Amino acid sequence: MKVAIIGAGVAGIVSLKYALEKGHECDCFEETGEFGGTWVYTDENGEHENGSKIYRSMYKDLITNLPKDVMVFMDFPYPEHVKESFISQQQVLQYLTDYVNYFKLNSHIKYNETVTKVQPLPDNKWKVTTQKSENLSAYDAVFVCNGHFRYPKFPKIVGQELFTGFQIHSAEYRDRRLFRDKQVLIIGASYSGTDIACQLKDMARTVYLSHWKPINIKIENVLNKPAVELFEFKNVVFADGSIENIDAVIYCTGYEYRLPFLDESCGITIKNNWVQPLYKHIINIEHPTMFIIGYPHSLPSFLASDLQARFSLTVLENKNLLPSKENMLKDLNDYLCNLRRKNIPQTQFHKVELGLEKYFAELVKISGIKHFPPVLLKLYMHKIKNPGKDDKLYKILDDENYITCSTISSLSK
Ligand SMILES: Cc1cc2nc3c(=O)[nH]c(=O)nc-3n(C[C@H](O)[C@H](O)[C@H](O)COP(=O)(O)OP(=O)(O)OC[C@H]3O[C@@H](n4cnc5c(N)ncnc54)[C@H](O)[C@@H]3O)c2cc1C
Ligand SMILES: *[C@@H]1O[C@H](CO)[C@@H](O)[C@H](O)[C@H]1NC(C)=O
Ligand SMILES: *[C@@H]1O[C@H](CO)[C@@H](O)[C@H](O)[C@H]1NC(C)=O
Ligand SMILES: *[C@@H]1O[C@H](CO)[C@@H](O)[C@H](O)[C@H]1NC(C)=O
């Protein structure tokens, strides 16, 4: 079959690897000049000289918030010499580079080629258009791997436009050194908010961390604040009435799902950050030869993309593994009812953190693919319950067990 893959980040390269392994003819379109997506760092920010936007969100000195053992593809461990558990952005990118080289993926990636339109054709085929060409040869399947840490989400706050300080989204944050001796306000205390607060706490004069909900995060040298009520020229007024003089605001308020290149006829809509109708967060129920890889969040994304890619390729080959359209819609509806019953807002519908084990098990059961070893999910769950970076070293002993060590030398014992 002819397969189009959109994006060469984690989700794109793992999809490409397995699609080639199945003997498909693959074109992987990548907007930038490099593979790696999120894991590529660039100093550039904002816009290119020609006015086109730069979508990069990596920053300097980033250390992973998960141990590398759960940031892996199946049967492709990190090399022996990488001992530490929490590794740098460069080390992750090196891992992806090793993967691309080992499986000879590079010649299938079409760099500097942005997919601008995807449309279904008769006979379950697809037309894919890029800024370079309107390729008329039809594809049998499309893997959408465009990532969802791409379009920054900003809250609207009174007085924002009058504020004289510096305001950026975490997507534009690059180098902590720019904030030396500044009074910094970080809005949002999720992964990036807390991580950037840790980066700045010994660099900035003061770091305030604001969140709408009461937070139980204690970071040394970081002052917790409630929601921002309004901005005045140089000041920020908080919900508890306190006022602080602020030089720079960093919005760590997340990203939006967007699929600007999907033609309306693809049948996909996005409302309140919920992409639908998708079966198991992957399959376009209206056209089940379109697969979206890497969309659920709050999970080990390398492992999830690996599993989703293999799931998709298996059901693509063997269509009778999939339920009927009617039953896929029913499955989706049951999922929605369950979330609504739990009062989970629609913006959180792609968050599978709570039902993670069940979600992975379902993909395995439907398609019959091999699951990853249970120890990886155990370690991931342990990390979720004990967030933050520690100096611990994790060592996988076997499929079921890991141990924690405090020094590199004790790892080899
Ligand atoms: C700051 C930051 C820190 C993170 N830290 C961790 C961590 O410690 N551990 C962890 O497991 N995860 C972490 N993540 C999550 C991380 O994004 C995932 O691990 C993973 O890299 C997502 O891969 P992806 O392929 O889905 O998306 P991306 O990496 O975003 O890749 C998408 C690719 O698609 C391309 N593309 C988009 N649109 C088009 C188009 N129209 N045409 C052609 N190409 C297109 C993009 O250029 C990009 O290369 C972090 C994310 C961020 C933003
Ligand atoms: C992609 O574009 C960049 C910038 O224009 C260029 O430097 C690079 O060589 C191109 N890469 C490929 C593989 O064509
Ligand atoms: C703008 O420039 C960048 C970097 O050189 C390039 O990758 C991109 O394709 C250009 N965009 C347009 C619309 O020409
Ligand atoms: C269309 O795609 C095929 C392979 O999928 C490629 O060989 C060909 O060069 C493409 N045509 C154009 C005009 O880009």
- Rounded distance between C-alpha atoms, residue 279 and residue 288, angstroms: 9
With a CB cutoff of 8 Å and minimum separation 6, the contacts of 151 are 55, 255, 256, 257, 258
Pick the atom of ligand 1 nearest to 38's CA: 29
pTM over 0.85: yes
DSSP SS3 for 359: helix
Residue whose CA is at the smallest distance from ligand 3 atom 4? 48
The pLDDT profile of the chain, 413 residues, written as one tens digit per residue, is 999 999 999 999 999 999 999 999 999 999 999 999 999 999 988 888 888 889 999 999 999 999 999 999 999 999 999 999 999 999 999 999 999 999 999 999 999 999 999 999 999 999 999 999 887 679 999 999 999 999 999 999 999 999 999 999 999 999 999 999 999 999 999 989 999 999 999 999 999 999 988 777 888 899 999 999 999 999 999 999 999 999 999 999 999 999 999 999 999 999 999 999 999 999 999 999 999 999 999 999 999 999 999 999 999 999 999 999 999 999 999 999 999 999 999 888 999 877 899 999 999 999 999 999 999 999 999 998 887 767 789 999 999 999 998 776 666 65
Residue 134 structure tokens = 């309107």
- C-alpha 135 – ligand 4 centre gap (Å): 6
Pick the atom of ligand 3 nearest to 51's CA: 1
H/E/C letters for each residue in 248-299? Answer: EEEECCCEECCCCCECHHHCCEEECCEEECEECCCEECCCCCEEECCCCECC
Pick the atom of ligand 1 nearest to 32's CA: 47
Q: Is the peptide bond before 214 cis (omega within 30 degrees of 0)?
A: no
Q: Which protein residues touch ligand 3 with a CB less than 6 Å away? A: 48, 50, 52, 112
- Our answer on whether the CB atom of 129 is closer than 6 Å to any ligand 4 atom is no
Pick the atom of ligand 4 nearest to 25's CA: 5
Neighbours of 193 (CB within 10 A): 23
Neighbours of 333 (CB within 10 A): 11
- C-alpha 149 – ligand 2 centre gap (Å): 23
Contact 165, 246 (CB under 8 A): yes
φ, ψ dihedrals at 154, nearest 5°:
-115, 135
- pLDDT tens figures, 268-316: 999 999 999 999 999 999 999 999 999 999 999 999 999 999 999 999 9
Q: Report the pLDDT value the prediction gives residue 45, as an integer from 0 to 100.
A: 86
- Our answer on whether the CB atom of 135 is closer than 6 Å to any ligand 4 atom is yes
Q: Which ligand is nearest to the CA of 130?
A: 1
Instruction: Tell which residue, 309, 262, 258, 257, has the closest CA to residue 120.
Output: 262
- Rounded distance between C-alpha atoms, residue 3 and residue 1, angstroms: 6
Which amino acid would we find at residue 381? M
- C-alpha 57 – ligand 1 centre gap (Å): 9
